[in-house]
Amino acid sequence: MLTFCVLVLATANYAFSSRVSDANAFVDTIFKEKGPPLVRESRQLYPYARIGDFSFKLHKDRFTRDLMVNMTHGKVRGLDDALQREGDCRAPFFRGGLSVIVCNLTMRGLNIAFTSLVTRDPQFTNWKNIWVSVDVTDSIVHLEAKAPVGEGYGEVRAFVIKDMQLDVTYDSNLSLNPGNSEKFKEEISAKVKEELRKIFTQYVSLVRQVFRSIRVR
């Protein structure tokens, strides 16, 4: 389960009322209309963001030798329209002189593709080339947006990724027993989660621009 909390002090040309439909429309404007074009203009995020090469070892057991794994050419695709509203937002409410909307988002369509080199050869002379694919399968994004009552400008205050569920698949040319298969997937999942947090730091900078481009009155 991926949870990200976005605490936003935002202002924008948009009217906040107490209706759920207004909150829904505001969030859809951000993540369906305004956000995707900005991501597509970013060379760091589109058509893909990069994950740097990394390596790990699966240690030998009674039946197999150590497996050395080099993960290369990691490409994260789908960042432009990865975030969408999940169900209805809460009705906007007032707190501390600010208008607040709270909404759940979900992440869909995000894929990370790798080329991997693997070997059990202790001399490291015989490497096998395989593909590895990672999909974000389950995510909940908690969005909280705050806007001054009346006109003003705001900013993104926090963007925290707590967890995410990933589905790792790999080339049938790589034969692993169930235990090693699980360890293989765990190593890759841990690294992908770490790198996605870094990538979404760049994404947040674009979200800031979006919130500053829409005026709440």
Q: Is the pLDDT of residue 4 over 70?
A: no
Evaluate if residue 68 carries a pLDDT over 60. yes
Lowest mean pLDDT among 142-146, 180-184, 213-217: 213-217
Instruction: Yes or no: say if 104 and 140 are a contact pair by the CB < 8 Å rule.
Output: yes
Residue 98 has pLDDT above 90, yes or no: no
In terms of Cα–Cα distance, which of 144, 213, 149 is closest to 15? 149
User: Could you give the count of Cα atoms lying within 13 Å of 180 in the half-sphere of its Cβ?
Assistant: 20
Confidence band of 112 (pLDDT split at 50, 70, 90): very high
Evaluate if residue 74 carries a pLDDT over 60.
yes
Of all residues in the chain, the percent with pLDDT exceeding 90 is 46
Q: What is the DSSP string of 99-163?
A: EEEEEEEEE-S-EEEEEEEEE--TTS---EEEEEEEEEEE-EEEEEEEEESSS---EEEEEEE--
Identify which has the larger pLDDT, 157 or 138. 138
Average pLDDT, the chain: 84
Tell me the mean pLDDT in the region 172-192: 95
Q: In Å, how far are 68, 150, 187, 204 from 56, measured between CA atoms? A: 6, 54, 7, 30
**Residue 108 predicted with pLDDT over 50:** yes
Give the percent of the chain with pLDDT over 70: 83
Per-residue pLDDT reduced to its tens digit, 10-41: 434 444 456 899 889 888 988 899 889 999 99
Handedness of CA 20, 22, 25, 31 (dihedral sign): negative
Go through the domains of the chain in sequence order and give each one's CATH number.
3-213 (3.15.10.50)
Residue type, 166: L
What's the pLDDT band for 161 if we cut at 50, 70, 90?
confident
Q: Residue 172's pLDDT is what?
A: 95
Say if residues 154 and 8 touch (Cβ distance below 8 Å). Answer: yes
**Following CA atoms 2, 47, 56, 159 in sequence, which dihedral angle do they give, to the nearest 10 degrees?**
-30
pLDDT at 1 exceeding the cut of 50: no
Q: Is the pLDDT of residue 43 over 90?
A: yes
pTM for the model stands at: 0.84
